[in-house]
């Protein structure tokens, strides 16, 4: 049985990073209901074993289907998409699924210098899915792949000092950036946590560098796969976390300037 248009869209991330995607969804589909699930109690995923990510992603999806009857799921996490989305498609063939992957194709199209930096988690960059994506584009564009160990975790904890240190370290590791010929002129934010600190990354990389993220294209893709689109009524978002309620609440306030009704969850 297909879920009705009043059924919410599930949005799942290892933590608060998916809020950057949720914002784009709310702009693209303003009348829809959403259930946001942050697995903050088990984040970050980026440096964990694949089996941990698979188990957590499966548990989250089962919860969203059983308790919220979602009509579609956005896996707002590059790492979970890279490691687990093919298994979700097997387990839930009826459920429209939208995943995220580092936007290296749009970045390659955008880069005049054909030099693109990619900031992502180690799990994403080491995945087979990313290897295939990269191999298909590496002929025309040089990609400088930078795993950012610890950065998503620091953003998750809102640990400002650590965010500053790691952002500086990883931006410097990319090498010279700017619009002059030969430099990296485009940088992909290949983890949904990174747009939450985009201002800081932009300041480090320089104003000439274009940052590419996936929120808006993912929202458009979600519109395409939805069986039903609500065209009227108020949007409503419910937030769940396996971590600390206050952490998600303050991230929503900071990121969306909205008060959030957050519940904690054990799955
Ligand atoms: N936000 C996630 C991503 O897009 C995962 C970050 C993490 O948990 O390490 O990759």
Structural domains of the chain sorted by starting position, each given as residue range(s) with its CATH number in brackets: 9-100+216-264 (3.40.50.1860), 104-213 (3.40.50.1860)
73: pLDDT strictly greater than 80: yes
Query: Are 242 and 266 contacting, i.e. CB atoms less than 8 angstroms apart?
Result: yes
Q: What is the mean predicted confidence (pLDDT) over 69-90? A: 97
> 70: pLDDT confidence band, cut at 50, 70 and 90?
very high
pLDDT at 235: 85
Q: What is the mean predicted confidence (pLDDT) over 116-145? A: 97
Q: What SS3 class is residue 5?
A: coil
* Eight-state DSSP code of residue 184: B
2: pLDDT strictly greater than 70: no
pLDDT at 117: 98
177 is catalytic: no
Sequence-distant (6+) residues with CB within 8 A of 196 are 16, 17, 19, 20, 155, 251, 255
Feature table: binding site for substrate: 13-14, 45-46, 78-79, 192-193
184: pLDDT strictly greater than 70: yes
Residue 165, φ and ψ in degrees, nearest 5? -65, -50
CA of 16 to the centre of ligand 1 (A): 9
Residues 48-68 have pLDDT tens digits of 999 999 999 999 999 999 999
73: its two tokens: 């799921």
25: its two tokens: 């969804």
> 261: pLDDT confidence band, cut at 50, 70 and 90?
confident
227: pLDDT strictly greater than 80: no
Query: Are 104 and 134 contacting, i.e. CB atoms less than 8 angstroms apart?
Result: yes
CA of 194 to the centre of ligand 1 (A): 9
31: pLDDT strictly greater than 70: yes
pLDDT at 234: 84
pTM > 0.75: yes or no: yes
171 is catalytic: no
pLDDT at 158: 93
Query: Are 20 and 215 contacting, i.e. CB atoms less than 8 angstroms apart?
Result: yes
pLDDT at 4: 67
Residue with tokens 């498609």: 89
* Residue of 148, 171, 177, 191 marked catalytic: 191
In 2-63 the beta strands, taken as DSSP E runs, fall at 9-13, 33-38
Residues 82-115 have pLDDT tens digits of 999 999 999 999 999 999 999 999 999 999 999 9
Query: CA angle, corner 74, sides to 244 and 224, nearest 5?
Result: 155
Give the containing element (helix H, strand E) for 186.
Answer: strand 186-189
């Amino acid at each position: 049985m297909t879920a009705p248009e009043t059924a919410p869209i599930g949005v799942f991330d290892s933590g608060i990073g998916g809020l950057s995607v949720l914002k784009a969804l709310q702009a693209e589909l303003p009348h829809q209901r959403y259930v946001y699930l942050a697995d903050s109690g088990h984040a970050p995923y980026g440096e964990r074993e694949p089996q941990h990510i698979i188990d957590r992603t499966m548990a989250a999806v089962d919860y969203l289907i059983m308790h919220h009857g979602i009509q579609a799921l956005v896996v707002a996490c590059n790492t979970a998409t890279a490691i687990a989305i093919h298994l979700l498609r097997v387990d839930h063939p009826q459920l429209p699924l939208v995943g995220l992957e580092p936007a290296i194709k749009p970045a390659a199209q955008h880069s005049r210098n054909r030099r693109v930096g990619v900031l992502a988690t180690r799990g994403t960059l080491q995945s087979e899915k990313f290897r295939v994506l990269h191999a298909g584009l590496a002929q025309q564009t040089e990609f400088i792949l930078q795993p950012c160990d610890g950065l998503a975790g620091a953003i998750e904890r809102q640990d400002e000092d650590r965010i500053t240190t790691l952002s500086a370290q990883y931006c410097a590791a990319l090498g010279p950036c700017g619009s002059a010929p030969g430099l990296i002129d485009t940088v992909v934010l290949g983890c949904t946590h990174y747009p939450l600190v985009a201002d800081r990354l932009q300041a480090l990389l320089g104003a000439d560098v274009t940052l590419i993220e996936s929120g808006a294209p993912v929202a458009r893709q979600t519109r395409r796969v939805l069986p039903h689109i609500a065209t009227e009524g108020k949007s409503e978002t419910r937030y769940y976390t396996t971590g600390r309620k206050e952490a998600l609440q303050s991230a929503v306030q900071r990121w969306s300037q909205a008060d959030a009704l957050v519940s904690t969850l054990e799955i």
